Chain A
Amino acid sequence: MEIFRVKKDIPFMKYSKLSAVISTTVFILAVFFILIRGLNLGVDFTGGTMMEVSYPEAANIDDIRQTLRDIDIENAQVQNFGTEEDVLIRLPIREDLSIAELSEQVSTALKLSNNLMEVNRVESVGSQVGDELYENGALAVLFVFIGIMLYLTMRFEWRFAIAAIIANMHDVIIILGFFAFFQWEFNLTVLAAVLAVLGYSVNESVVVFDRVRENFRKMRKTAVSEVINNAITRTMSRTIMTHLSTQTVVISMLIFGGEILHNFALALTIGILFGIYSSIMVGCPIAMWLGTNQTNLAIFNPERKKENKEL
């Protein structure tokens, strides 16, 4: 079985201007939604309390709200979560109550009004910890960007590093854009997914770039755009197989992983889909426009050259 039975190289770079317009538009839209709607940050980052409770039968949301109001807890968000029996309660930080007391008061009150209620999960984060988690998250993203840039500069050259990073940033911003547009909750687990996507989608660029470099050595006289077209076409089959595999696992997570892994899997899905697109239609054109060609890369690795001669 072979999915891609292409006789000639697909002229990807011919569409690079079109894709640049598309990418820029999507990118700007994503930035627009992030700025206008903002991310729906989870308690991990904002601080506050999130409680997941379940009842043996369909939960009465209004009753729960009333119970909370009775113990002077205002601004509580109460909503169903997954099923009718499961309820998610979100409480902002209170100045006068420690986070430990707050969750205890709520569970005691709810238990009093219905003693079949069960608390499945509590996540309470003080504002200080929330700020730190936010800061550490940003640091982690920065660390990954710089680390990958350095590595790619070392292994390839700066044009590829910049191209890969822009392609990557494109993916990350689009994931965030989706989360902002749909107001899906952005928590620590989603951040982990975003960082995993960072590593993963660079993979994609690396595989293509690797082939471009190899082609540069073999195809000394060929135009850069054609070299790139060939590299993309030749790696197409691998791209599809790999992403299909990873996406299958992620779909399996979406189906079986439950609520906690749901947004994690969503972020990965968006990341994987846009990762394919961006490494081909963002990374490669940028490397091309930055002026990468045979003279930049082909002569660096004498060992490889020897291998080629052997062939």
Chain B
Amino acid sequence: MNQSARWKYLLILTTILLSIIFVIPNFYGESPAIQIMPIKAGEKIDTSILQSIEKVLEKSEIQNSGLILENFRIKVKLKTAEDQLKAKGLIQKALGSQYVVALNLISNSPNWLSNMGALPMYLGLDLRGGVHFLMQVDLSKALEKTTASYLSQFRTALRKEKIGYFDATKNNDVMQIKFKSKVELNKGKNIIRGINNNFVFKEIFVNDEIILKVIISEQTKKSITEFAIKQNLETLNNRVNELGVAEPLIQQQGLDRIVIQLPGVQDTAKAKEILGRTATLEMRMVNEDNFNQDIFKEGNEDQIPVNSEIFPDRFGNNILVRKEVILTGERITNAGPGVDQQSGQSVVSITLDAKGASIFKQVTRENINKRMALLLIEKNVTEVVTAPVIKAEIGAGRVQITGMANTQEATDIALLLRAGSLAAPMEIIEERTVGPSMGKENISRGVQSTLWGFVAIITMMAIYYMVFGVISVITLSVNLFFLVALLSALQATLTLPGLAAIALTLGMAIDSSVLINERIRDEIRNGNTPQASISMGYKMAWGTILDSNITTMIAGLALFMFGSGPIKGFAVVLVLGILTSMFSAIFVSRAIVNYVYGNKRQKSKLSIGEIFKVDNN
């Protein structure tokens, strides 16, 4: 009666074999490596780059233990940390600023294992050191910006078609145009519809005023905000690339948040500076109408024309700039520092995308000899970077911005522009930094806790339950083995609380074995034969094991759903630990017991420790 079906042994053996494959990579350790990526995120890298890297390494006689070409990056495995630093410098020099060369660590496990997807456990930031940022994206600003840009398109289109209107204003994301007549309102409406078909219109006729309200539909709003997040993600990707981090994680969280994890980053100040730059760029026309210079004086704010605003430039001069936004930084595809051939001044050259180029062409054609201002908005402070006079129509989407103080400034601004300006401002609302030495310390703390807890438990079990205790210990070890295999296979993030959860689930997993062993003792105590006791013991314990594990599972799921970061790590391990412990307690321990005792028909005594017989009850 206590013989396991052959398929059960097979299942267990297969599981153990699979687990071995996934556990092995954890024991191989890591090698220093460097990683090469193109500076623009998402750009492919090819064999020609691979060859030039090989050449550099050959020339400087740096030995490598393998070059790996992936879609978006090349990894070079090196022998020593010294070589790593040397190679990084040389390769960076050889490839130039179009490529990012970052330090990394690569697992030493053989390639056939990695190819099977068997990788070491994925360590969280608290275990390997690094920075975690949570950024809040201000989507209302993205909507505002889009509204402003629509409004400027309306004005241009209405003017072009010579449709009379008094003014076009906006309030948050509702635009309002006052027309001169109903006929013109209808014509205007058609034109606006041509710009975007998704607007909702509302006509208001009061006190002789003919007003068209243009409301952005919910659907459009959604796509605007989605686009803004996407744009910001891309920008962050580019910025992180500038930082040269080997394995960054940049991910949207919820509707309006972005998580950034930068393992191994030590210079947090620089990381924050580059990521936290909330600069957005706008090009607008300078208002050069005749007006009283008094408007620049304090207290005269009411005299500023409604369609304009005053901003200071870098020298402290005030400039009156129109509210209409011609272009925003989203349209910039590339930017670089340079020197103007004629004047010798430092300049920044910008390349615009197709739509940006066509808008820019039209605006420059219509505004020759007028001034255009380049505004940089950083943390709600707007500054006029430069406000040059348009000398000619600029068609190809190549723009040169003059007025840089020196090369350094030109480089900085170019970097800022190239890294992309954001579609919506962002702010860091959570920061968690763990130093690299602290990460190592945390690993040893977690491992030590688990190890000594484990040793104590197995000693106790073996003494208390004898052979059945040893079986429980084997079961527990197999459980630990399964858990590590599962964590490696799923590449779930292992955090310090996760390590604590491994220790804790071990403590809890033993409960199943204890329940079974106590039940078997009970049955023997009641005078059952050893074989019947084993069978009943398992049967009776099963219900209890299931109930108690499910309640813990409920807690684990709650932590997973509502927890974040390290707590989620705890929850993942807890839930997986419950699953593996149930599997090992039911299948593995039963199989071992059956293997040891199942064949002996008349086993007179089970080695399950001394059993105290009770006379009554």
A-side interface residues toward B, CB under 8 Å?
1-2, 4-9, 52, 98-100, 103-104, 107-108, 118-126, 128-129, 133, 136-137, 139-141, 143-144, 147-148, 151-152, 155, 188-189, 191-192, 195-196, 198-200, 202-203, 206-207, 210, 214, 230, 234-235, 237-238, 241-242, 244-253, 255-258, 260-261, 264-265, 268, 307, 311
Contact = CB atoms under 8 A, between A and B. Distances in A.
Contacts of A2: 521, 609-612
Nearest to A236: B518
B554 A151 contact: yes
B431 A257 contact: no
A203 B547 CA distance: 7
A245 B458 CA distance: 9
A100 B551 contact: no
B500 interface: yes
A262 B268 CA distance: 27
Nearest to A6: B614
Given A199-B551, A207-B515, A252-B456, A124 B449 contact: no
Given A122-B433, A124-B430, A200-B555, 6 more contacts: A192-B559, A241-B514, A245-B511, A249-B504, A256-B449, A307-B539
A279 to B, nearest CB: 11
A248 B431 contact: no
A34 to B, nearest CB: 21
Contacts of A140: 558-559, 561-563
Nearest first, the 7 A-B pairs at minimum CB distance are A199-B555, A249-B453, A246-B507, A199-B552, A126-B429, A249-B507, A252-B453
A13 to B, nearest CB: 16
B562 A143 contact: yes
Nearest to A203: B548
Given A2-B610, A195-B558, A188 B457 contact: no
Given A252-B503, A258-B442, A311-B536, A210 B543 contact: yes
A253 B463 contact: no
Given A104-B269, A195-B558, A155 B536 contact: no
B445 interface: yes
A304 to B, nearest CB: 8
Contacts of A4: 612
B505 to A, nearest CB: 9
B449 A249 contact: yes
Contacts of A108: 269
Given A191-B567, A244-B460, A121 B610 contact: no
Nearest to B434: A121
Interface string B459-473: 011011000000000
Interface of B is mostly: helix
B22 interface: no
B449 A261 contact: yes
B339 interface: no
B616 A8 contact: yes
Contacts of A188: 563-567
B138 interface: no
A21 B134 CA distance: 48
Contact of B563 (A98, A192, A200, A210): A192
B617 interface: yes
A151 B551 contact: yes
26 contacts: A8-B617, A103-B431, A119-B435, A128-B136, A133-B564, A136-B564, A140-B558, A144-B555, A151-B554, A155-B547, A192-B567, A199-B552, A200-B508, A210-B547, A234-B522, A238-B514, A238-B515, A242-B510, A246-B510, A248-B460, A249-B449, A252-B456, A253-B449, A253-B500, A258-B445, A265-B500
B17 interface: no
A7 B616 CA distance: 8
A19 B588 CA distance: 41
B392 interface: no
A137 B428 CA distance: 22
A189 B567 contact: yes
Given A148-B554, A151-B554, A189-B567, A206 B460 contact: no
Contacts of B482: none
A88 to B, nearest CB: 13
B390 interface: no
B289 interface: no
A120 B435 contact: yes
A246 B513 CA distance: 13
Contacts of B515: 207, 238, 242
B362 interface: no
Given A250-B507, A257-B500, A242 B567 contact: no
Contact of B430 (A107, A120, A126): A126
A237 B518 contact: yes
Contacts of B536: 311
A45 to B, nearest CB: 12
B272 interface: yes
Interface in B493-515: 496-497, 500, 503-504, 506-508, 510-511, 514-515
Contacts of B559: 140, 192, 195-196
B445 A261 contact: yes
A10 to B, nearest CB: 12
A260 B443 CA distance: 12
Contacts of B574: 196
Contacts of B570: 189, 192, 196
Contact of B435 (A118, A198, A202, A249): A118
Given A104-B272, A120-B438, A242-B514, A137 B562 contact: yes
A126 B276 CA distance: 15
A256 B456 CA distance: 14
A103 B600 CA distance: 69
A1 B469 CA distance: 11
Nearest to A307: B539
Interface in B551-587: 551-559, 561-567, 570-571, 574
A253 B503 contact: yes
A79 B545 CA distance: 46
A143 B510 CA distance: 26
B550 interface: yes
Given A1-B609, A120-B438, A206-B548, A99 B431 contact: yes
Contacts of B555: 144, 148, 195-196, 198-200
A248 B449 contact: no
Contacts of A311: 528, 536
B43 interface: no
Contacts of B551: 148, 151-152, 199, 202-203, 206
B457 A99 contact: no
Contacts of A155: 547
Contacts of B449: 249, 252-253, 255-257, 261
Contacts of B544: 206-207, 210
